[in-house]
Structure formats: C-alpha cells, structure tokens
Amino acid sequence: MAWEFSTEPEFQEQLDWVEEFCRTEIEPLDLVFPGAARSRDPKLKAIVDPLKQQVRDRGMWALFLDKELGGPGYGQLKLALLNEILGKYGSAPIIFGTAAPDTGNMELLAAYGTEEQKERWLKPLMNQEIWSAYSMTEPQGGSDPNLFVTHAERDGEEWVINGEKWFTSAGSVADILFVMCTNGMFIVPRETPGVEIMPYPRRHNHIRYANVRVPLDHLLGPEDGAKVLAQRRLGGGRIHHAMRTVAQCRRAFDMMCERALSRQSHGKVIGEHQMVQEMIADSYSEITMLRLLVLWTAWTIDNSSTQASRTQIAACKYTCAKVLRDVSYRALHIMGSLGTTNLTPLQAMFAGSPRMGIADGVDEVHKSTVARNVLKGYRPHDGLWPTEYLPAKREEARRKYADLLREDAELAAYAERAERYANSRS
C-alpha cells in the first residue's frame, strides 16, 4: 500500500513557476485591466495572448484535459494543486485555460460530442476563440431537474426550444449556450433568433428561449440524456469550485495572520489576544481539513470516476462553502473596519460565500446526497439493542473465554470484579 503527501519535484517546479507568474503578471493585469482576459478588444488581446502563450509553452494549458484533447493529461489531483494558486487571482483560470463554465462544457463535448461537434465547438473553446455558458436552472424549479419545463420539439430537420432559464452565468457574453431541456442537452448559438437575455441579473443571466430553432445535430449526446450529461458536468464543476475555494480561504487566512501581527489593541499585538488566536487556530484546522478532503476526492476521481466519487464531491461542495464563509468572516473581523470596505478582497469573499453554497446545487441537497449514500453502507441492527450495546458484547466476550474462566478461579474473580464495576457505572 502506497500512501504519501508529497508532490513530484518536477511538478512542484511547475507550481513554483505558476505562483511567481500569477503574482508578477496576472495580478497586475487584473488591477490595471480588469476583464481583459475575456476581452475581444485587439489591444487587450495583445497584452493577454502572450501570457496565455507562456502558459502553453510550460505545458500547463487546459490542465484538466487528456493529452488527446490538447491538455497535458495531469488529472484532477494536479489540477487541484494548480487551482490552489489560480483561485487567488481573478483572471488566472482563464489565462491557464481552466475557467468555468467553459471547463465543464469542454468536458461534456469531449465525452459526448461527435467528431463534427468537437471540431466545431471543442477546439475553438480550448483555444478560447469562443466562450460558452451553461443554461440549466429555471425560475420555478431552481436546480431540480424534475421541475424543469424547458423543452425541445422536433420539427423536420430542426429542434424548436421553448422555456426559460435562470442564473446562466456569463450567458450574455457567451458564443454558445449549453441548454438543458427535459428531453436532451442542446448547443444553442447565443445569436439564434428567439434567445432573449433579460436585463437582470447582469452576470448570471435570466434567459428566455422563444421558438428557438437549431439543427438536429445541435443535440449533444443521446435524446433524453440531459440528466446523465448534467451529472457528469456538475460533478467536475463542483470539485473545481472546491479547489478554487481552498485558494480563497488561504488568501483570507494570510491576510488574517498578517493583520494579527501588524496591529495593536488594548496594550498588545492583537495576535496575542486569545480570541484572535482561537480564530486563527480554528481557521487553520478548517482550511487544512478542506484541503485534504479536496485532494483526496481529486485522487479518487483520477483512480475511479466522477460518478464513483459522487459522495466525496458533494461533501467537498458544502464544506468549501462553510469554510469560506467562516474563514472570511473571521479575517474580516480581525481586519476591522477596513475589512468591511472594497479596499481589500475580504468583503467580496464574505459576500460571495452564500453564492458558493447555492451554485451547482444548494448545500442542503448535497448533504442529503451524502447522507443517503453513506447510509447505503449500513444495515439496521437485529433485535432491540444496537451493535455497540456493551452488556451484550460483554456476554459474548465471556462466552469466548468461558473455558479459561472455568479453569482459573483467579481470572474468573478478576472478570467478575470488572463486570460488577461496569454494572455499577451504568
């Protein structure tokens, strides 16, 4: 049995380069030219494209994809280690070709797309020549597919889609929309007549599909296969959320610790106050536990499948939301009034933590999933008493030693005293 917590020296060198590259190149880009990484403006592309080329030259582009699809084939565990860095910087996932929602959509195309669909959409997505969005949840049904009503009807050589979708992130700037219907997953170019982007919300769009016509070959995967495709996509998306959340938590923790050593209150450095020390200690433990859960889950996916890791992925999803909320809240308090402003990242982290508990399925659903799956590994006990009912276990143990107790009076007396003591305590 092999078990270790080390990173190969060659990949650690890559991670060290990524850390330096993000700090010296991507963070300044975000501060001076926010949004440039997705911009189609030629002047901004002239700044961003050379950065993407450096990533390609290092072999770190689209890390989550297999080699035959243009990625390095490193798998989820190494992607998790990479995302512990990228998650600190807004544009980093885009510049490394690992940004949501495109990553999940690329995985769907890679797994279920025809060769023609891959040529038409997967390659341009990988090269960031086009952008995509995932149009799943609905106003009346949230993320429960059993309540969805968006439907596609076949009409000759076309599908006609009618329905309404809510919280399609980046839908207004996407070139193609992956639309989940009751009878299949469809790829819809955003400029298709009948696609109406509502004014609000601005970033997570409300979209109406009114008699939207697409050719028959815009169905992705089998007809009536949308739920299977959605689970495949969302499983990967949820673990990627958790990977990036580890980075956010560590960033908040670094700010917390720096502040604790930099300011004084009531006659001493605030890091010497026991309540502040408690916040730091709790945050350290929670981040470490989350990180290990995420890495273990990523390792499990690499050695089995997303479906086989479903319980762990669900646990990662609600745990990362809770840890981000708690750590960013503590960091904000230690930062003081400055933490409540937009002059540090803390306010945005804390304000965004509830969204993390809702995106890609609410925490309550994931907790139910974990509980149901865990309970499948258990069975009810026989009779009145639980398996760990000690009087019954002692009786069974005495039967095991019955011959010895009959033969040795001294040991029998010892066992009798022990039983009387146990009975007196109960």
The CATH homologous superfamily for domain 9-113 is: Acyl-CoA dehydrogenase/oxidase, N-terminal domain (1.10.540.10)
CATH class given for the domain over 132-220: mainly beta
Q: Are strands 132-135 and 176-181 parallel, antiparallel or unpaired?
A: parallel
Separation of alpha carbons 329 and 340, rounded Å: 10
Mean confidence (pLDDT) of the chain: 94
pLDDT for residue 91 is more than 90: yes
Separation of alpha carbons 204 and 327, rounded Å: 25
- What tens digit of pLDDT does each residue of 234-269 get? 777 889 999 999 999 999 999 999 999 999 999 999
- What tens digit of pLDDT does each residue of 58-78 get? 999 988 777 777 678 888 999
Q: Is the peptide bond before 139 cis (omega within 30 degrees of 0)?
A: no
**Are 320 and 242 contacting, i.e. CB atoms less than 8 angstroms apart?**
yes
- Distance set, CA 248 to CA 170, 269, 333, 404 (Å): 21, 25, 17, 61
The CATH homologous superfamily for domain 227-375 is: Butyryl-CoA Dehydrogenase, subunit A, domain 3 (1.20.140.10)
Average pLDDT over residues 382-398: 94
Name residue, tokens 């804390």. 350
- What tens digit of pLDDT does each residue of 288-339 get? 999 999 999 999 999 998 889 999 999 999 999 999 999 999 999 999 999 9
Q: Which pLDDT belongs to residue 324?
A: 97
For the ranges 32-41, 83-92, 118-127, 357-366, the lowest mean pLDDT is seen at 357-366
Separation of alpha carbons 314 and 87, rounded Å: 20
Q: Which pLDDT belongs to residue 185?
A: 98
Q: Could you give the angle at the alpha carbon of 42 between the alpha carbons of 37 and 45, nearest 5°?
A: 30
SS3 sequence, the chain? Answer: CCCCCCCCHHHHHHHHHHHHHHHHHHHHHHHHCCCHHHCCCHHHHHHHHHHHHHHHHCCCCCCCCCHHHCCCCCCHHHHHHHHHHHCCCCCHHHHCCCCCCHHHHHHHHHHHCCHHHHHHHHHHHHCCCCCEEEECCECCCECCHHHCCCEEEEECCEEEEEEEEEEEECHHHCCEEEEEECCEEEEEECCCCCEEECCCCCCEEEEEEEEEEEEHHHEECCCCCHHHHHHHHHHHHHHHHHHHHHHHHHHHHHHHHHHHHHCEECCEEHHHCHHHHHHHHHHHHHHHHHHHHHHHHHHHHHHCCCHHHHHHHHHHHHHHHHHHHHHHHHHHHHHHHHHHCCCCCHHHHHHHHHHHCCCCCCHHHHHHHHHHHHHCCCCCCCCCCCCCCHHHHHHHHHHHCHHHHHHCHHHHHHHHHHHHHHHHHC
- Distance set, CA 7 to CA 61, 66, 80, 81, 239 (Å): 19, 20, 12, 9, 20
pLDDT confidence bin for 22, thresholds 50/70/90: very high
Q: Which pLDDT belongs to residue 70?
A: 66
Q: Are strands 219-220 and 268-269 parallel, antiparallel or unpaired?
A: unpaired
Q: Which pLDDT belongs to residue 107?
A: 87
Q: Which pLDDT belongs to residue 201?
A: 94
**Are 259 and 269 contacting, i.e. CB atoms less than 8 angstroms apart?**
no
Average pLDDT over residues 371-381: 97
Sign of CA dihedral 163, 167, 171, 176: negative
pTM > 0.85: yes
Share of the chain above pLDDT 90, in %: 86
pLDDT for residue 141 is more than 90: no
